[in-house]
């Protein structure tokens, strides 16, 4: 398979990939590096891509593995800092969106990844299982736990 074909497949999904990496990494300074590394690895190993499979899932799997490797190296969760949420500081964005992003930032890194793959990138449970290597039941559990934690975090005292 020609590498020029890689660019044709990449163009429609590269913004979603970029956003997924940034959100999964809590808008960390390292997220641009991970994004570039994912694109380069995809290009380098494009010869191993099976055209019968979903390209988007294949590339997101590469990105997900790079994110996991990054967190293994860091051995800690990067805290969410207000300066890391660039466009969310704009006052024209409703407070609820800021609250949701802050709440998602409080999730464990792999929970954030599953959350953004499911809700933002609209992958199906089976596709997330392929990307993350987690079982479908584990993904459902993570999503349920994430929703529960977000609901608790976003509760407004009466």
Residue pair 101/85 in contact (Cβ under 8 Å)? The answer is: yes
> Token pair 């010869």 is at which residue?
47
Residue pair 28/73 in contact (Cβ under 8 Å)? The answer is: no
The helix, strand and coil proportions of the chain, stated in percent and rounded to the nearest 5, come to: 70, 0, 30
Q: pLDDT tens digits for 72-131?
A: 777 644 444 444 334 444 444 454 666 777 778 888 888 988 988 888 888 899 999 988
pLDDT band at 1 (very low <50, low <70, confident <90, very high): low
Tokens of 6: 């890689």
Inter-helix orientation angle 31-44/55-74, to 10°: 130
> pTM of the entire structure?
0.62
The domains found in the chain, sorted by start residue, are: 3-154 (1.20.140.160)
């Amino acid at each position: 398979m020609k590498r020029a074909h890689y660019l044709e497949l990449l163009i429609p999904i590269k913004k979603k990939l970029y956003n997924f990496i940034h959100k999964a990494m809590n808008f960390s300074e390292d997220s641009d590096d991970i994004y570039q590394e994912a694109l380069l690895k995809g290009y380098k190993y494009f010869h191993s891509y099976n055209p019968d499979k979903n390209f988007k899932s294949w590339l997101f799997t590469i990105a997900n593995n790079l994110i996991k490797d990054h967190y293994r190296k860091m051995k800690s969760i990067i805290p969410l800092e207000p300066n890391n949420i660039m466009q969310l500081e704009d006052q024209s964005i409703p407070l609820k969106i800021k609250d949701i992003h802050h709440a998602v930032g409080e999730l464990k890194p792999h929970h954030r990844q599953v959350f953004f793959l499911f809700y933002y990138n609209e992958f199906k449970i089976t596709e997330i299982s392929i990307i993350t290597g987690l079982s479908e039941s584990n993904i459902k559990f993570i999503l349920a736990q994430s929703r529960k934690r977000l609901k608790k975090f976003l509760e407004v005292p009466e």
